[in-house]
Structure 1
Amino acid sequence: MKNSTHIASAIRVVIASLLMLIPIVALAQTEERALKMVQVLRLGDNLSDMTYQFAKNTTTYKIVEKTLGPQKADELLRAEIAVAVPKHQDEWNHTLAQAWAPLMTAEEFDSVVSEKQKSPFAPKFMSLQGQAGATMKVSAEPLLKTVLMEVLTGIFEKSMPKK
């Protein structure tokens, strides 16, 4: 009798543990589908543009621009962005997928990926862009700063006269 009570308790613990894994597995699948959507729709392609816009407004860039002139400074900035962004694009896309994951289901992401604007979930996707953007603004800030620092360091070092 004692053994059957222990076995029943052990079975309940195993079942409870498995039930706790279901939401984790579902979230992982949703994040995976969100990442696919980010990649297929190229939602993360704005990293270069954002880096460019932020960099142009920094004191560092203004010093480089004054030293090299606007055209040379811009060429150098674009070249450094072309080097830095690819190193961080996957992380940027994953961060964006994490911002989207809680907003839609895996099936909704799949539909938007396969049917694009014809998806019945396209209006939902469009309506949630601001919310995903707000989350991304907070969660991606450290990564954007890292990319920006790499770019600014590169242009600064390359703009200074060699001794």
Structure 2
Amino acid sequence: MHNKFISVFAAAAFAIGAFSAPATAQDKPVTLAGDVMKEQITLDDNGGDRIEMVAPDVVIPGDRLLFATSYTNTSGEAIEDFVVTNPLPAAVRLSEGSDADLVVSVDGGETWGKLNDLRVESEGGVSRDAAEIDVTHVRWTLASIAPGESGRLEYYAIVR
């Protein structure tokens, strides 16, 4: 079962949807690379907790993972309003305490907003405030990426 989780995470790390207003699919002026790391707590020399990020050989429910997308503008021009959209794998949920300004979708990418502003319809047609467990996608809009500029976009998730 654990290997299934890893393959889901690896696939999700590279299943990044990126869209840019000025670029066509043939241009690909921005390269993207995804990765997943697991938060591991160990003891330091003084007996205190030390948090390390490690490659996730095995994951179990409750593990905290860091999903990241690195980007680089490989063109000679600034790229404006570049959008990166990452679907969350079904085996994880967005971590509590995530950035309140993170733009998310709770309906498969149909609508977007801050989590606190979104609602979901539960069984029986009753609407409720959206929660981290409802998030299906995260999205970032980069106002401008200068020629040669690189960066990294991240979010934490918990294995279900």
* Normalised TM-score (structure 2): 0.26
Larger Rg: 1 or 2?
1
Structure ranking higher in strand proportion: 2
Q: Which has the higher contact order (CA 8 A, sep 6+)?
A: 1
Structure ranking higher in helix proportion: 1
* Normalised TM-score (structure 1): 0.26
